[in-house]
């Protein structure tokens, strides 16, 4: 993969935007533009900022330019029989690693391999004043300075323009397979708990009365796990589709919500999709989001609107006023003139 | 070396003290010299300053009131847990109060169904695992001071430990936090899975008490592994041992822990604990793998082959709890053991990419020879976190300066190999100069801007963790720190 470093050009563009007080909409592959509120600003494409800054397979760490497509990175890592430690959604062939970090979603591997932010070791960014800054590093343990690198994950690009990111890697599974079991959700949840730490489960979702379990790892372990889990052989692409928000559930009409709840919360209503072994629920809902918030409140969880028809609504409901004010000051510290993705996360950001 | 001035003059108005006393329980305010002496330093006792007052609240509400009062009177606050930190992060401020959080020690709830525990900041690290044990669960990050250190301190420092390689650091195991900003405002961040609009948990974790005072922590619990096996491989050279570690990493094997001890550390541990290492060991690697039986067996097979291929001449295996404890004993007590080899030692904490282990250790050995100062190595090899221990005698004129220069060279070496000045001990007051080497002026300015976003009057632990731009242009190398560890029998690192 050819290395194209546009950092200086981006820094100059941000400085000019800062001086002129004009906002910028950061665009990578453009596959996540429907996420979040409608941002104001001149489009700034970062898609040409691609390539591998550093990759030593023996170290299990890669440093990659933010405009690199997730699929291209995955293919490169695959040649060394390696992979990212988590499922990173790709919403199309053009989906970039920078976009994935900005939205911060983690695929079905989440309860077993951690969050996307857990895999982040360091970043290089352009700040809201046009300076190139580096936080974190390329090593697993690093407590020097505040953890600004992880703060970038899920901030919808409102705190800085991502240039490069260092990610921890893992060995690619030798074999992978999906098992399907027709059970009710309570029994499914109990079984998942039983298998935790005992079997090489790397994903578990539940929909339409069936539990789908992904097993991955060395051949002997997967074979042994198959005998314990039972069920029928499932569709291998199911978890890729889930990771990428594809497939029949996601094709339904309505706003797309995700709810983060205790994993043992009940399966209701029945047209929802359970991911993360119970801890994440996808809902498709048109109109009044009341039931989403009702469910989230009842089960002491959170609701997040991933995509909606009404772009004036943000992904997250506002936090408590004092915490909103604190977050506003953090935004101002990183991007004092609100140049980046203005309005995308919150109206006045 | 220690530029913290001491003052015997109480700088605050009488009304401040009166109101502070009213907020706290009857025994919650210490001022007598004999009472506050214990708070004058943390686990890095070369930095000492006697606090003017120590506040010991029992509830989160009291913490909030103390902070609001301090903001009203512009009084700096240094929050403190058990005081086991190793970078001077809890060093008292000459004009401030120490806010001791050890009495907030309730385990609020253990939720086995959702694999989490809600605890107050003064709960000891090990107490969480003890409370979770009956549910078959445990809290994974295990700094070696875990019997004494508190979870609040772990959050402040983003504490590591032996098992971080597989289970992550503190930051990977925190789901939610309740904290006060300096003005006494309560914030609740995170959620059942740790997701949030802005990842403030990441920002708070490892912020060394500069951004907020945590009053409740929700931690992730893990299922206890079904099987655990520890291995000890003995090598005739440090290089071979380090090379075997690099190969374990390069094959993508992730043991729960992967540690290395060199010859000097081994002989110290042998004298201290009485355990015998294989005759002729120049270095040993300790590896622990856990999981289900099959996974442990497969990893164990590979480890055995790798160690043999790199010339391990003795290999010991332990699976029963007591046998594993024996295997780990020398490692766990290596720091107090090395402490007996010389009047003083200086412990470093740099991290490097694992592929550089052999070359960095070789260079450290060469530096040790050229400075004439012995260096013992005992460290978290699997994640590249070095703890070179430079032996010296502070009473001998010139040795301190030698150690100072040698330490600075080792940290520069770590940075040159793409590493960091601190893997897990934090910056505190100790590594402020190293921060100038690792970060640019603009990056340091960004840290200060974030600090101001949380704490506009810079009342929380001011002067720690992030150096002022002015300090970074001053000439001079890294500061030196020796001295004996308090709680010298406590297991460390």
The shortest CB-CB distance from A301 to any of B168, B192, B422 is to B192
Q: B396-414 pLDDT, tens per residue?
A: 999 988 998 999 999 999 9
Confirm or reject contact between A251 and chain B (CB < 8 A): no
Residue B479 has pLDDT above 50, yes or no: no
Only one residue has tokens 């995170």, namely: B190
Q: B63-78 pLDDT, tens per residue?
A: 999 999 999 999 999 9
Ranges of H-type helices in B389-440 = 399-416, 432-438
| DSSP summary character for residue A128 | T
- Note whether B292 contacts A322, CB cutoff 8 Å: no
**Token duo for residue B374:** 């012995």
pLDDT at residue B474, rounded to an integer: 65
Q: Could you tell me the fold of the domain covering B107-223?
A: 3.30.465
- The structural domains of chain B, with segments of one domain joined by +, span 14-100, 107-223, 227-332, 432-473
Is the Cβ–Cβ distance between A9 and A45 less than 8 Å?
Answer: no
Distance CA B403, CA B1 (A): 13
Q: B137-155 pLDDT, tens per residue?
A: 999 999 989 999 999 999 9
Confirm or reject contact between A321 and chain B (CB < 8 A): no
B181: closest CA of chain A, how far (Å): 9
Q: Could you tell me the fold of the domain covering B227-332?
A: Alpha-Beta Plaits (3.30.70)
Confirm or reject contact between A280 and chain B (CB < 8 A): yes
Question: Distance between alpha carbon A304 and the CA centroid of its chain, in Å?
Answer: 13
Longest dimension (CA), chain B: 72
pLDDT at residue B406, rounded to an integer: 94
Which of A14, A143, A163 has the highest number of chain B CBs within 10 A, making it the mutation to test binding with B? A143
Q: How many CB atoms lie within 10 A of CB B469?
A: 12
Q: Determine whether B459 is exposed, middle or buried from the number of CB atoms within 10 Å of its CB (0-12, 13-18, 19+).
A: buried
- Note whether A144 contacts B250, CB cutoff 8 Å: no
- Three-state DSSP class for residue B409: helix
Which residue of chain A is at minimal alpha-carbon distance from B425?
A: A143
B84: closest CA of chain A, how far (Å): 17
Question: What is the residue-averaged pLDDT of chain A?
Answer: 96
Chain A, chain B: beta-carbon pairs less than 8 Å apart: 228
End-to-end Cα spacing for chain B? 25
Which of A145, A202, A279, A295 has the highest number of chain B CBs within 10 A, making it the mutation to test binding with B? A145
Q: Could you tell me the fold of the domain covering B14-100?
A: 3.30.43
- Note whether B291 contacts A220, CB cutoff 8 Å: no
Confirm or reject contact between A196 and chain B (CB < 8 A): yes
The confidence band for B192, taking pLDDT boundaries of 50, 70 and 90, is: confident
**CA dist list (Å): A85 to A54, A109, B214:** 17, 9, 30
Which residue of chain A is at minimal alpha-carbon distance from B172?
A: A118
Q: B228-274 pLDDT, tens per residue?
A: 999 999 999 999 999 999 999 999 999 999 999 999 999 999 999 99
> What are the CB-based long-range contacts (under 8 Å, 24+) for B300-304?
B300/B229, B300/B231, B302/B248, B302/B251, B302/B253, B303/B231, B303/B233, B303/B248, B303/B253, B303/B255, B304/B231
B292: closest CA of chain A, how far (Å): 5
B43: closest CA of chain A, how far (Å): 17
- Note whether A145 contacts B438, CB cutoff 8 Å: yes
Q: B203-229 pLDDT, tens per residue?
A: 999 999 999 999 999 999 999 999 999
Is the Cβ–Cβ distance between B452 and B413 less than 8 Å?
Answer: no
Residue B489 has pLDDT above 70, yes or no: no
Residue B453 has pLDDT above 80, yes or no: yes
Question: What is the residue-averaged pLDDT of chain B?
Answer: 92
Question: Could you give the ipTM of this predicted complex?
Answer: 0.97
Which residue of chain A is at minimal alpha-carbon distance from B161?
A: A141
CA dihedral over B116, B158, A304, A182, signed as positive or negative: negative
Which residue of chain A is at minimal alpha-carbon distance from B112?
A: A193
- Note whether B454 contacts A326, CB cutoff 8 Å: yes
The answer for A 94-133 residues in CB contact with B (under 8 A) is: 104, 110, 114-115, 117-118, 127, 131-133
- Note whether A264 contacts B188, CB cutoff 8 Å: no
- Note whether B114 contacts A264, CB cutoff 8 Å: yes
A147: closest CA of chain B, how far (Å): 5
The shortest CB-CB distance from A145 to any of B160, B191, B439 is to B439
- Note whether A139 contacts B169, CB cutoff 8 Å: no
């Amino acid at each position: 993969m050819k290395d194209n470093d546009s950092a200086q050009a981006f820094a100059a563009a941000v400085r000019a935007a800062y001086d002129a007080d004009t906002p910028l909409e950061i665009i990578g592959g453009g596959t996540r533009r429907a996420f979040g509120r409608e941002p104001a600003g001149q489009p700034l494409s970062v898609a040409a900022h691609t390539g591998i800054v550093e990759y030593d397979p023996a170290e299990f760490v890669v440093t990659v330019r933010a405009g690199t497509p997730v699929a291209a990175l995955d293919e490169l890592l695959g040649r060394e029989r390696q992979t990212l430690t988590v499922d990173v959604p790709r919403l199309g062939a053009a989906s970039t690693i920078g976009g994935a970090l900005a939205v911060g979603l983690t695929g079905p591997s989440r309860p077993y391999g951690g969050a996307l932010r857990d895999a982040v070791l360091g970043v290089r960014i352009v700040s809201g004043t046009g300076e190139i800054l580096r936080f974190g590093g390329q090593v697993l343990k690093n407590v020097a300075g505040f953890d600004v690198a992880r703060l970038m994950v899920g901030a919808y690009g409102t705190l800085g323009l991502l240039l490069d990111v260092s990610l921890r890697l893992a060995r690619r599974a030798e074999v992978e397979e999906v098992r399907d079991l027709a059970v009710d959700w309570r029994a499914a949840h109990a079984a998942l708990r039983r298998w935790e730490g005992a079997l090489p489960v790397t994903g578990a979702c539940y929909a339409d009365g069936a539990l789908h379990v992904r097993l991955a790892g060395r051949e002997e372990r997967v074979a042994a796990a198959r005998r314990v889990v039972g069920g029928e052989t499932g569709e291998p692409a199911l978890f890729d589709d889930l990771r990428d928000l594809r497939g029949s559930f996601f094709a339904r009409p309505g706003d797309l919500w995700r709810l983060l709840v205790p994993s043992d919360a009940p399966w209701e209503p029945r047209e929802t999709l359970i991911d993360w072994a119970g801890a994440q629920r996808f809902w498709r809902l048109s109109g009044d989001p009341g039931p989403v918030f009702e469910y989230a409140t009842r089960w002491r969880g959170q609701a997040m609107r991933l995509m909606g028809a009404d772009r004036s609504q943000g992904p997250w409901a506002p936090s408590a006023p004092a915490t909103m004010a604190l977050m506003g000051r953090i935004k101002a510290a990183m991007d004092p003139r609100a140049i980046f993705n203005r309005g995308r996360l919150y109206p006045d950001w | 070396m220690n530029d913290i001035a001491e003052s015997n003059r109480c700088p605050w108005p009488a009304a401040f003290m009166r109101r502070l006393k009213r907020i706290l329980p009857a025994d919650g305010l210490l001022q007598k010299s004999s009472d506050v002496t214990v708070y004058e330093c943390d686990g890095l006792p070369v930095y000492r300053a006697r606090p003017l007052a120590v506040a010991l609240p029992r509830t989160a509400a009291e913490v909030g009131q103390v902070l609001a009062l301090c903001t009203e009177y512009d009084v700096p606050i240094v929050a403190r847990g058990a005081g086991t930190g190793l970078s001077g992060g809890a060093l008292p401020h000459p004009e401030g109060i120490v806010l001791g959080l050890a009495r907030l020690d309730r385990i609020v709830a253990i939720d086995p169904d959702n694999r989490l525990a809600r605890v107050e900041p003064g709960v000891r690290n090990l107490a969480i695992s003890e409370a979770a044990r009956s549910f078959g669960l445990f809290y994974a990050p295990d700094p070696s001071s875990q019997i004494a250190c508190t979870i609040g301190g772990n959050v402040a420092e983003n504490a590591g430990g032996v098992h971080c390689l597989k289970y992550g650091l503190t930051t990977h195991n925190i789901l939610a936090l309740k904290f006060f900003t300096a003005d006494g405002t309560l914030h609740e961040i995170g959620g059942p899975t740790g997701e949030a609009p802005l990842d403030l948990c990441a920002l708070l974790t490892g912020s060394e008490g500069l951004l907020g005072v945590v009053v409740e922590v929700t931690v992730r619990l893990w299922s206890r592994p079904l099987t655990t096996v520890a291995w000890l491989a003995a090598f005739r050279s440090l290089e071979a041992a380090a090379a075997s570690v690099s190969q374990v990493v390069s094959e993508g094997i992730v043991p729960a822990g992967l540690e290395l001890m060199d010859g000097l550390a081994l002989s110290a541990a042998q004298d201290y604990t009485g355990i015998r290492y294989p005759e002729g060991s120049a270095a040993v690697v300790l590896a622990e793998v856990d999981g289900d039986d099959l996974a442990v067996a497969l990893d164990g097979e590979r480890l055995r082959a790798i160690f043999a291929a790199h010339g391990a001449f003795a290999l010991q295996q332990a699976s029963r709890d007591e046998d594993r404890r024996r295997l780990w004993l020398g490692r766990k007590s290596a720091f107090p053991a090395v402490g007996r080899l010389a009047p003083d030692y200086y412990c470093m904490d740099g991290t490097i990419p694992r592929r550089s282990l052999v070359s960095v250790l070789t260079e450290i050995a060469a530096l040790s020879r050229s400075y004439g100062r012995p260096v013992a190595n005992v460290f978290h090899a699997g994640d590249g976190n070095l703890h070179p221990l430079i032996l010296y005698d502070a009473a001998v004129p010139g040795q301190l300066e030698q150690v100072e220069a040698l330490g600075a060279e080792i940290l520069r070496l770590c940075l040159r190999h793409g590493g960091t000045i601190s893997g897990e001990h934090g910056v505190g007051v100790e590594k402020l100069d190293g921060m100038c080497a690792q970060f640019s002026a603009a990056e340091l300015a960004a840290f200060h801007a974030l600090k101001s976003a949380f704490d506009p009057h810079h009342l929380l632990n001011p002067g720690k963790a992030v150096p002022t731009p002015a300090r970074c242009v001053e000439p001079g190398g890294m500061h030196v720190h020796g001295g004996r560890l308090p709680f010298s029998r406590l297991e460390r690192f």
